[in-house]
């Protein structure tokens, strides 16, 4: 059983590799706080094969001018369950014989079980109206997806390991039917479907670094690089709909503690590079906001596991 928590605060805008001034002008300003709780149950079929069921829950807030009356900043909030994932894992080498090096392959499905239609109040010039929240704070994206990835480690000296970890979520579905917060305002969307209906975008995460174990204390320290983001184009299927593609590259210091059947870890990725990419709709419409995306400067990732 694993319970993990991830928090990030996104407020800095990027166009391509360029970081734009803070605070952003009202037409771009977005101040987003996201909290994600993941509950995972893993069953080991044997020492090499296991299967995991992941249940995410999210609560978040987003303050903007654009999603309201364009004059004053207001906050929309959301909470709900994300899309459930069922993932199989296999160690490529016998764990009993390869305690100093091994690779695990993962493959699974993401279900459209989460809530992708959360609404909150949008404060318009004509008064408050209920509107779907921005996909940045929707708990789920909907659609069936395929999850695949790998992780591995290798000892390079006494108590020191090099590690890598990567996962990609491919969503063949193009759009999920949920309107964007401004989807009912043709003066802002230009009537383009790419700004009216939310996309079901792919996403990815990759990590690589070093781990040092302070044997026999059960404490390990890690330091590495991490990148995560949303691509402008999906691996499978079309890529239209409202999405804000981009990525960050972060340094990721961390620490973990093992005690008996309990495992605790903490990591604090700090961004050293941000990048905003142009979406399909941006390129089609030649939008003046092409390639502008709001990204987080840092994240907090906590995890607790117990083995029964």
- Say what the pLDDT of residue 217 is: 85
Quick check: 124 and 78 in contact, CB under 8 A?
no
pLDDT of residue 69: 96
User: How far apart, in Å, are the Cα atoms of 41 and each of 25, 54, 90, 150, 156?
Assistant: 44, 7, 16, 19, 32
- What is the value of pTM for the model shown? 0.95
Low-confidence ranges of the chain (pLDDT < 50): none
User: What are phi and psi for residue 283, nearest 5 degrees?
Assistant: -70, -35
Structural domains in the chain, CATH included, are: 2-306 (2.40.128.130)
- In this predicted model, what pLDDT tens digit does every residue of 220-278 receive, in sequence order? 999 999 999 999 999 999 999 999 999 999 999 999 999 999 999 999 999 999 999 99
- pLDDT 10s digits, 53-73: 999 999 999 999 999 999 999
- Find, among 50, 48, 52, the residue nearest to 93 by Cα: 48
Closest C-alpha to 246, from 61, 63, 15:
15
What is the radius of gyration, based on Cα positions, of the chain? 21
Q: What is the DSSP letter of 180?
A: P
Cis peptide bond upstream of 267, omega within 30: no
pLDDT score for 216: 85
Tokens of 213: 């174990």
Map tokens 């005690």 to a residue: 259
């Amino acid at each position: 059983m694993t319970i993990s928590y991830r928090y990030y605060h996104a407020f800095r805008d990027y166009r391509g590799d360029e970081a734009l001034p803070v605070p952003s002008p009202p037409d771009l300003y977005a101040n987003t706080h996201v909290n994600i709780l993941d509950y995972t149950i893993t069953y080991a079929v044997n020492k090499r094969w296991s299967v995991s069921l992941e249940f995410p829950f999210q609560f978040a807030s987003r303050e903007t001018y654009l999603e309201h009356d364009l004059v004053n900043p207001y906050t929309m909030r959301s909470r709900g369950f994300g899309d459930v994932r069922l993932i199989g894992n296999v160690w490529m080498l016998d764990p009993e014989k390869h305690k100093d090096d091994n690779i695990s392959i993962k493959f699974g499905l993401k279900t459209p079980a989460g809530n992708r239609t959360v609404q909150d109040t949008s404060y318009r010039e004509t008064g408050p109206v209920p509107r779907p929240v921005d996909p940045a704070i929707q708990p789920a994206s909907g659609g069936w997806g395929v999850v695949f990835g790998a992780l591995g480690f290798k000892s390079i000296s006494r108590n020191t390991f090099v590690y890598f970890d990567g996962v990609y979520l491919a969503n063949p579905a193009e759009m999920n039917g949920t309107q964007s917060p401004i989807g009912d305002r043709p003066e802002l969307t230009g009537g383009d479907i790419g700004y009216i209906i939310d996309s079901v975008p792919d996403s990815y995460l990759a990590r690589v670094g070093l781990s040092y174990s302070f044997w026999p204390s059960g404490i390990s320290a890690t330091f590495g690089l991490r990148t995560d983001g949303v691509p402008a184009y999906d691996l499978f299927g079309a890529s239209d709909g409202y999405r804000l593609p981009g990525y960050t590259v972060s340094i990721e210091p961390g620490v973990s503690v093992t005690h008996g059947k309990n495992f605790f870890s903490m990591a604090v990725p700090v961004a050293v590079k941000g990048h905003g990419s142009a979406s399909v709709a941006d390129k089609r419409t030649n939008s003046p906001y092409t390639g502008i995306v709001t990204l987080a400067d840092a994240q907090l990732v906590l995890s607790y596991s117990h083995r029964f």
